[in-house]
Amino acid sequence: MVFFENLVKSGNLLKHNWRLAVPPFLNALMGIGFALIFIIMNDLISLIGNDPSSLFTSGGISSMAKKVSSVLINQSQIVKIVSSLVGFVIANFLAGASLIGMEYSMIKDTLNNKKTPLIKSFLKGTKYYWKIVEMRAMVLILIITLSVLLSFPFFLLSRYFGENSIYVLISVILVLLVIRLILFFRYPIMIKNGFGAIPSLARSMRVFKKYTIYVFTSWLISMFIVFFVNLLFDFVRISVTDYLYHMVGFVILMIGFYILKELLMVLVNAFIDIFSYVSYLKLPK
């Protein structure tokens, strides 16, 4: 079966070429760095550290939420938090483009039996920087536009028939899933063919239209892998939290699990990206 072959080939490629995990690792480090800077800048560690046990008592979550909102309002930090969050999202959005180009360039070279040094791979990836930024911006605009169009009717209904926020949230999630499905091969198409943003997106849509079942199955496999790994990690985390909490404290435990999960997702994301590229190369003729 072609999908099983794609999975095996992707696994072997990552197994024998660990350097392919370097771009996702750098991206994870960047994300962790931005998150820690954001937490420190806005003094959010102290909010958690003041009374961590309240999270484990009856009504603890709502109590902690009230404390957090109270502190934020009293310290007039809402504008600061929102502005810094937007700034970090934009920085991550722009900086991540080079790493995406680097990663897919390395995957392409590896499949062509080329051993490109990391520095050279990074420089090759920068050639796609503005193309990737442009494509990510277009996808973001598309997501926002479709989310607004799909959720607006539910917003109007909520004004006359009560709360419908759950339907608004579901509509946004559906938009994200559908766009990720239709544009599943956008990066492999861009890197393999050297296309710009618009041609890459257009080709992705044509590929989805022509090979709907193949693209859907490849996307579903990648989603299942991510879901299963997250579920397994959360199961382990919940199983050991009570024991480790008494040893290291809540804040250290929370940060530790966050970092561990980011590192685990480095391998998962690297595998998924390799799988998407390999699957694109194996499109039915």
Does the residue 59 lie in any domain?
Answer: no
Which carries the bigger pLDDT value, residue 285 or residue 96?
A: 96
Q: Quick check: 77 pLDDT over 60?
A: no
Q: Is residue 137 part of a domain?
A: yes
CA separation for the pair 150, 154 (Å, rounded): 8
Mean pLDDT of all residues in 146-160: 76
Q: Average pLDDT of 23-42?
A: 79
In-domain check, residue 47 = no
Name the pLDDT band for 236 (thresholds 50, 70, 90).
confident
What was the pLDDT predicted at 58?
A: 45
* Residue 170 domain flag: yes
- Tell me the residue range of the domain where 164 lies: 2-42+77-281
Q: DSSP per residue over 148-215, as a string? A: HHHHHHHHHHHHHHS--HHHHHHHHHHHHHHHHHHTTTHHHHHHHHT--HHHHHHHHHHHHHHSHHHH
Considering the chain, what is the average pLDDT of its residues? Answer: 81
pLDDT band at residue 90, thresholds of 50, 70 and 90? Answer: confident
Asked if residue 52 is part of any domain, the answer here is: no
N-terminal to C-terminal alpha carbon distance within the chain: 15
Q: Is residue 246 part of a domain?
A: yes
| Rounded-to-integer distance, Cα 175 and Cα 253, Å | 34
Domain count, the chain: 1
